[in-house]
Structure 1
Amino acid sequence: MPVKIPDNLPAAEILESENIFVMSETRAANQDIRPMKVLILNLMPNKIETETQLLRLLGNTPLQVDVDLLRIHDKESKHTSIDHMNNFYRDFEQVRNRNYDGLIITGAPLGQVEFEDVSYWDHIREIFDWSQHHVTSVLFLCWAAHAALYHLYGLNRKLLKNKRSGVFSHMRTSEHYPLLRGFDEEFYAPHSRFAEMDVEQLHAHPALKVLTESDTAGAYMVLSNNNRNLFVMGHPEYQKSTLKDEYLRDVSQGLSPAVPQNYFKNDDPNQQPIVRWHSHGSLLVSNWLNYYVYQLTPYNLEDMSGITPWESETQ
């Protein structure tokens, strides 16, 4: 089934060239289907690249998904044209009184900034709180996962001496959760961050369950007991060149970054990256949409009070 996106969104041409099923608003208006309503709060500097990455994953599910794009503020973006932002993005005031089946909040290049020093910290806290009453399930990625764990559960990250960059092996620490259906016992995922959560604190928190973790990269997937919040500490949406592009950007800025681990062939940045996480990323988003959004959300989105937590086989 397709992802429904605004007419003329630049990502459409890219996704169609990859045979990913997307549908324009005009075409979708003629279908009598109750699609999933998903809101994406895009905090990344290059909006179009991140849109495309996420829509690629959403387009790999059997559900029709209507997507709205949300911006955190109306300040001019250095990497995305103001025309693109004004044409395709909504402000929070435009969605405040709406309900959504799902919400995805992306990472942000703020890994070394204290949360309270982030210019839009008060605003994003408001969105975090709003999501707990207006969205069936929220997928927090990387920085957003750390920020939401801090605001919603009082757990703070710890800053790393060096950036955690690369593709790391992860293991399931729990079984029988629908989110993990189809997962291999060992799988790979990209990370690119300056901080990480304390695994022991996450395990000890009564409202959270650590589902997967890495000996090197720490906790990766953490689920709230009411299934409303899924925290993913890495970047399952990243494409083949993303870590390479970040590495070359840092090199060009004279930052002397370490070579991303387990990413380039033979760990040689002059060779091509090896992709080993795309199947996992697609499965993660498909399982989230199916089991934690579609299976839980009310048919009438106005009736968010009707949502009851799904109880897994282990709970």
Structure 2
Amino acid sequence: MPIKVPDRSPAEAALQQEGVEVIPDATALRQDIRPLRILLLNLMPTKIATEVQIARLLSHTPLQIELSLLTTATYQPRNTPFEHLKAFYRTLDEVKDERFDGMIVTGAPVETLPFEKVDYWTELKEILAWSRTNVFRRFGICWGGQALLYAAYGVEKIQYPEKLFGVFEQRVQAPRSELMRGFPDSFPTPVSRWTGVDPRGIAAKPELRVLADSPQTGIGLVEHVPTGDVFCFNHLEYDTETLRNEFTRDVSLNPTTALPHNYFPGNSAAADPANTWRAYGYLMFMNWITTLYRDTLYDLSALSPRPENDWGAGI
């Protein structure tokens, strides 16, 4: 099925150029079905690229998806034109009376800061508190996943002595999880982070289940079993060139930056990398959307608040 993104947005044009079917507003309104409403809280500095990456993965399901874009009101991104934010993004005040089947929270380049030192941390906690009554299920990516875990359960992050950077094999630890349906025993995933989640914090919460991990990069994917919320600390949504672009940026700041692991053929920065992970990104999001469609309520106004000890209470 096609995906509905904001009309005339850069994501719409990019997806159409790739051959992804995008449904216009007028056509979506004529169809006698309820689309799944997904809210993307986009905290990445490369907002337009991230919109395309997430929309691409959401489009590979048999369901109609309506993607809405959310940004912070208390922090003005420096790398995205104000006109783009004004045209296509909303803030919490503008969506607070709406309800959504799912919310995706992206990563952000703030991972080495304590959570409380992040400029928009107070607002992010407000968004998570609002999500207790207005969103059925959440999906956190990289720092977004770490932030969700910390806000929900107080699971701390840990900092590594060097950046985990490259393509690493992830071992499936819970093959019976519906999110892992169709995955092989291991699969490649782009990783780009200085931090991870404390395994002791995960082990202390029996409702949290590790779905995939790596000897080199630690826990990569966690599920909150009672709700189906997902915390993915790696980047199956990345484009083929994303790690190259990050490497070029990092080298400009530090010429001794190491090449990303298992990314450039022959370990040569002059070689063109191959995308070995996209099929698994499609598979993961298809599994997530399929279970979301099965479990969510047709009438979102009937959503019930989550328990008081869940999603941000006390943190």
Long gaps (5+) in structure 1? 308-315
The aligned counterpart of 1:12 is 12
Asked if 2 retains the 8 angstrom alpha-carbon contact of 1:139 and 1:231, the reply is yes
Corresponding residue SS for 2:304: helix
Question: How much has 1:76 moved relative to structure 2?
Answer: 4.0
Q: 1:11-55: CA deviations, max 9, x gaps?
A: 111111111121122321222211000000000011110000000
The aligned counterpart of 1:136 is 136
Question: How much has 1:171 moved relative to structure 2?
Answer: 1.1
Corresponding residue SS for 2:73: coil
Long gaps (5+) in structure 2? 307-315
Question: How much has 1:120 moved relative to structure 2?
Answer: 0.5
Corresponding residue SS for 2:139: strand
The aligned counterpart of 2:298 is 299
Corresponding residue SS for 2:300: coil
Task: Provide the C-alpha distance between the structure 2 equivalents of 1:227 and 1:221, rounded to a whole number of angstroms.
Answer: 15
Over the aligned positions, Cα root-mean-square deviation in angstroms equals 1.5
Asked if 2 retains the 8 angstrom alpha-carbon contact of 1:74 and 1:91, the reply is no
The aligned counterpart of 1:97 is 97
Task: Provide the C-alpha distance between the structure 1 equivalents of 2:101 and 2:51, rounded to a whole number of angstroms.
Answer: 18
Task: Provide the C-alpha distance between the structure 2 equivalents of 1:62 and 1:227, rounded to a whole number of angstroms.
Answer: 23
The aligned counterpart of 2:311 is none
Task: Provide the C-alpha distance between the structure 1 equivalents of 2:259 and 2:142, rounded to a whole number of angstroms.
Answer: 20
The answer as to 2:39 corresponding to 1:39 is: yes
Matches within 5 A, 1:104-115: 104-115=104-115
Give the residue type in structure 1 aligned to 2:110: L
- Give the % identical residues: 37
The aligned counterpart of 1:154 is 154
The aligned counterpart of 2:181 is 181
Question: How much has 1:304 moved relative to structure 2?
Answer: 0.7
Give the residue type in structure 1 aligned to 2:274: I
The aligned counterpart of 1:230 is 230
Give the residue type in structure 2 aligned to 1:299: Y
Q: 1:193-229: CA deviations, max 9, x gaps?
A: 1101123432342220101111111111100021342
Q: 1:134-157: CA deviations, max 9, x gaps?
A: 211100000011111111111101
Task: Provide the C-alpha distance between the structure 1 equivalents of 2:305 and 2:297, rounded to a whole number of angstroms.
Answer: 6
Asked if 2 retains the 8 angstrom alpha-carbon contact of 1:132 and 1:228, the reply is no
Asked if 2 retains the 8 angstrom alpha-carbon contact of 1:298 and 1:306, the reply is no
Corresponding residue SS for 2:295: coil
The aligned counterpart of 1:124 is 124
Give the residue type in structure 1 aligned to 2:190: P
Q: 1:223-267: CA deviations, max 9, x gaps?
A: 002134200010111000001000101111236322110111122
Task: Provide the C-alpha distance between the structure 2 equivalents of 1:121 and 1:75, rounded to a whole number of angstroms.
Answer: 10
In structure 2, do the counterparts of structure 1 residues 75 and 148 end up closer, same or farther at CA, with 3 Å as the change threshold? closer
Count of residue pairs the alignment pairs up:
306
Give the residue type in structure 2 aligned to 1:85: L
Task: Provide the C-alpha distance between the structure 1 equivalents of 2:160 and 2:81, rounded to a whole number of angstroms.
Answer: 33
Asked if 1 retains the 8 angstrom alpha-carbon contact of 2:75 and 2:120, the reply is no
The aligned counterpart of 1:220 is 220
Moved over 6 A (4+): none
Give the residue type in structure 2 aligned to 1:141: I
TM-score after normalising by structure 1: 0.93
The aligned counterpart of 1:88 is 88
In structure 2, do the counterparts of structure 1 residues 124 and 182 end up closer, same or farther at CA, with 3 Å as the change threshold? same
